[in-house]
Amino acid sequence: MTTIAAPMASRPRRAPLSPPLVYGAAAIAFLLVLWFAATAIPGVVSNKVLPSPFDVVERFATLAADTFSGSTLFGHAAASLTRWLIGVTVAVGLGVPLGVLLAWLPPLRPAVTPVFELFRYIPPFAWVPIAVLWYGASTTTQAMIVFIAAFPACVINTQLGVAQVDSILLRAAKTLGAGAATTLSRVVLPVAAPAIFTGIRIAFSNGWMALVGAELVVGKQGLGFLISQGQINDSVSTILVGMITIGALGALIDVVLQRVQRLLLPWKSATTRPVA
């Protein structure tokens, strides 16, 4: 009893950040109605510029069932997800160990700083033209863009997570006779795990966003390709179906990861701010 209300009593209460569900639903329903009204009332918006929500749903069903630009909607989504998965797997596989190394062995940091600073401000997307030159319109090109987008978040957040492990814990482990390997695996990594996981989540999301861009420029399959085909065919409903699918999959990936994080790492998450 005491512990629940004490902090509330001492300061003015504030409304939580996330709104009650009703308001959100109402706001979005309102937008949908507005969208529908704009397309339904003749002369407001041409159907060619903005099809009605029902047209989009219909288009969704068509794309799900029939082949468009080489695949069904699911085929395009599967192609995108495959490339994405390859890219982020490599990024996590290389980035997390590198982050641990950088935090654990500080003299390595200045060695990689120049490269990191050089590449940090080049948008992943700016790599598309050179990736195309190197690997052509292949899965490698797409996966490379995903990798470039995802890698830094893995490294930086892992490094921060490991570096913030309290040195008292390290000393405690030492006095208990733990060697470097034991300390790393039993003390450092569990403490750093939430930060690392947050980094992975950011990496996954960054990778997904960049992939769409890459697919707009190169490739013959994928959701980005689908919307660019929609553009070429002047089919706004196709574009919208593609955008919604991309957004929904991106959101789904993040929700799943949040669940996994809560399941695997139920302990308190790190205090450092994640770096995107």
Partner 1 sequence: MATRVRSFWRTPPGKIAWLAICLGSIVVLLGAWWYLTRPGGGISPLFLPPPDEVLDAFVRLLSRPYLGSTLGQHIAASLEVVMTGWLAAGLVGLPLGIAMGWWRKARWVAFPIFQVLRPVPPLAWIPLAIVWLGIGESARVFVVFIAAIVPWVMNSMQAVYSIDALLVSAALTLGANDRQILTRVVCRTALPTLVAGARISLGNAWTTLVAAELLAATSGLGYIALNASRTLEIGILLVAMAIIGVLGALFSVIMQLVTRIVAPWSRANAEGA
Partner 2 sequence: MTTTKAHGPTAKMDIRGVSKTFDTRAGAVHALDRCDLAIREGEFVVVVGPSGCGKSTLMMIAAGLEAPSTGQILVDGKPAGPAGPQRTVVFQRFALFPSETVAQNIAFGLRVAGVDRAERARRVTEQLEFMRLSQFRDAYPHELSGGMQQRVAIARALVVRPEILLMDEPFGALDAQTRTVLQEEVARLSREMNYTVMFITHSVEEAVYLGDRVVVMSSRPGRIKKEIAIPRDAGWRRLDIEEASSEPGFIELKREIWALIRTEIVRQ
Q: Where in 146-205 is the site for partner 1 (CB under 8 A)? A: none
Is the CB of residue 169 less than 8 Å from the CB of residue 187?
yes
Subset of residues 6 to 25 that bind partner 2, contact rule: CB under 8 A: 6, 8-10, 12
**Could you give phi then psi for residue 45, rounded to 5 degrees?**
-130, 130
Helices (H), 164-266: 167-175, 180-182, 189-217, 223-232, 236-264
Contact partner at residue 1 from partner 1, partner 2, none, CB < 5 to 8 Å by partner kind = partner 2
Selection from partner 1, partner 2, none that 41 binds (CB < 5 to 8 A by kind) is: none
Q: Any contact of residue 120 with partner 1 (CB under 8 A)?
A: yes
| Binder of partner 1 out of 61, 112, 169, 256 (CB under 8 A) | 112
Note the Cα 49 to chain centre separation in Å.
30
Q: Are 160 and 195 in contact (CB under 8 A)?
A: yes
Kindly tell me which of 93 and 169 has the beta carbon lying closer to partner 1: 169
Residue range at the interface with partner 2 (CB under 8 A); choices 3-11, 22-30, 74-82, 180-188: 3-11
Largest CA distance in the chain: 79
Residue 168 contacts residue 155 (beta carbons within 8 Å) = no
77, 153, 192, 236: which one binds partner 1 (CB under 8 A): 236
Which one, 3 or 167, has the nearer CB to partner 2? Answer: 3
